Amino acid sequence: MVSEHSDTVDDTSALALKILVAGGFGVGKTTLVGAVSEIRPLRTEELLSEAGQLVDDTDGVDQKVTTTVAMDFGRITIRAGLSLYLFGTPGQDRFWFLWDELSQGALGAVVLADTRRLEDCFPAVDYFEHRHIPFVVAVNCFAGARGYGAHDVSRALDLDRGTPVVLCDARDRDSGKEVLIRLVEYAGRMHTARLLDSVR
């Protein structure tokens, strides 16, 4: 609601949507949340330790020294009256039990993918497909990685028809924002279609 004496949107009419940012270890989830968030992001990162070498596969991400152990959190305003609350999930197998809690009430998810280790995003794709949570796959274009088109990635991941695949740079705010807008649009269409199916 907009007041007659103000151009600002009344907080009581603002819509906040919950979005998950998921994917494999070291794919750029924390980076994406931090790049787009308009608030200082909450991070739960810890240094990688020698004890974790047996369970954390750092092949391809040799420079990584920290890991998310609970979640990342950020917020971005897409337009007046519409904000997204971003929850970055931990990437390692041993933290997957947190996903069920984090996914409660989520409109949809971004699955970040690295074409050098594409298999690392299979668990996230399977998770959201089995729970009928709309998602887009965002290919984080790392320097030095071989370039693949959206169709190639979609086929390699055996995605359901219509699941969007977008190329992005997780470090770039505008690129990350475009991914989120694409997700909101896609999730909106999916939820509308399900609602129509339920009343037929």
CA distances from 17 to 20, 81, 98, 117, 129 (A): 10, 11, 19, 30, 20
The answer to whether 71 and 97 are in contact (CB under 8 A) is: no
Q: Please choose, from the candidates 82, 102, 97, 126, the residue with its C-alpha nearest in 3D space to the C-alpha of residue 19.
A: 102
Measured CA to CA, the distance from residue 197 to residue 194 in angstroms comes to 5
* 153 DSSP assignment: H
pTM reported for the whole predicted model: 0.80
What is the per-residue pLDDT for 4?
A: 47
What is the per-residue pLDDT for 45?
A: 53
pLDDT tens by residue, the chain, 200 residues:
444 444 454 555 689 999 999 998 889 999 999 999 999 988 665 554 454 554 555 555 555 455 544 578 999 998 899 999 999 988 666 566 788 988 999 999 999 999 999 999 999 999 999 999 999 999 999 887 788 999 999 999 999 999 999 999 999 999 999 999 999 999 999 999 988 888 87
Measured CA to CA, the distance from residue 189 to residue 27 in angstroms comes to 27
What is the per-residue pLDDT for 56?
A: 52
For residue 199, how many other CB atoms are within 10 A of its CB?
5
